[in-house]
Homo-oligomer: A and B are copies of this chain.
Amino acid sequence: MTSPHRPLRADATRNRAALLAAAEAEFTERGLDASMADIARRAGVAKGTVFRHFASKEELIAAIVAGHFRALSEYARALDDASDPGGALVEFLAEAAGGQAHHDLSFLQTLTEGDSSVAAARDQLHADVERLVARARDAGAVRGDVTGTDVWVLICAPVHATGYVRDPAPDLWRRYLAIIVDGLRPAGAQPLPVPPPTWP
């Protein structure tokens, strides 16, 4: 978590939040090449302030990614006591995709493999997904040969698919989520040709 080594000053907390929001917006608009200077400008602070809060661009990205992982993790856990495990899994996937449809930051994920706080948040989220999938599988809503990691790697697929059409409808990702979910169901499933990947 964010180590409360010393409580931040009031303006520092404000600036940090503004920076994270600005960075998120800038990264979604300009991609990985969004510059620290632009992020600072958008947050209404000087360039130096960015580097006071985040020692490097990588660290800023890591903070964003870890934040998203943690938020999704919380959402997943809230679904733990759902009465319909199959529906819960789909609802989780929809939440994940819905967030990406608004701010697709999946391309930042690979850049932060080294960061330990990201790794922790990621592993936690993966465990949450694994649990959702296990319940859905036990309930017969998901085919038996599909693992949590399989679902994990497919999370971004619906939104990425929409990236290949011009001016996609804002909820087009639901169409591809539906297709993939149908592929995860037991009905009409053909045997899978390759063993599942191990985690990590």
Minimum distance in angstroms from A200 CB to a CB of chain B = 5
Q: How many copies of this kind of chain does the complex include?
A: 2
- The interface residues of chain B lying within 8 Å CB-to-CB of A194 are 169, 171-172, 174-175, 178
The answer to whether A187 touches B188 (Cβ under 8 A) is yes
> Interface centre among A171, A176, A194, A196, by most B CB within 10 Å?
A194
Interface string of A170-195 (1 = CB under 8 A from B): 01101110111111111111101111
Minimum distance in angstroms from A118 CB to a CB of chain B = 13
Which chain B residue shows the least CB distance to A189? B182
Contact of A166 among B156, B161, B165, B200 (CB under 8 A): B200
Stretch at the interface among A51-59, A62-70, A146-154: A146-154
Contact of A179 among B146, B165, B197 (CB under 8 A): B146
Minimum distance in angstroms from A81 CB to a CB of chain B = 25
Instruction: Place the interface of chain A in its size category.
Output: 35 or more
- The interface residues of chain B lying within 8 Å CB-to-CB of A160 are 156-157, 160
Contact of A197 among B109, B157, B169, B195 (CB under 8 A): B169
The answer to whether A175 touches B150 (Cβ under 8 A) is yes
The answer to whether A73 has its CB under 8 Å from any CB of chain B is no
The answer to whether B196 touches A179 (Cβ under 8 A) is no
The answer to whether A179 touches B193 (Cβ under 8 A) is no
How distant is the Cα of A199 from the Cα of B184 in the complex, in angstroms?
Answer: 27
Which chain B residue shows the least CB distance to A126? B164
The answer to whether B188 touches A179 (Cβ under 8 A) is no
16 more CB-based (< 8 A) A-B contacts, given A179-B180, A188-B188: A149-B165, A153-B163, A157-B160, A157-B180, A162-B197, A165-B197, A171-B193, A172-B197, A175-B194, A178-B194, A182-B183, A182-B188, A182-B190, A183-B183, A186-B188, A187-B188
The 6 listed contacts between A and B (C-beta, < 8 Å) are A146-B179, A165-B200, A172-B194, A180-B180, A183-B183, A186-B188
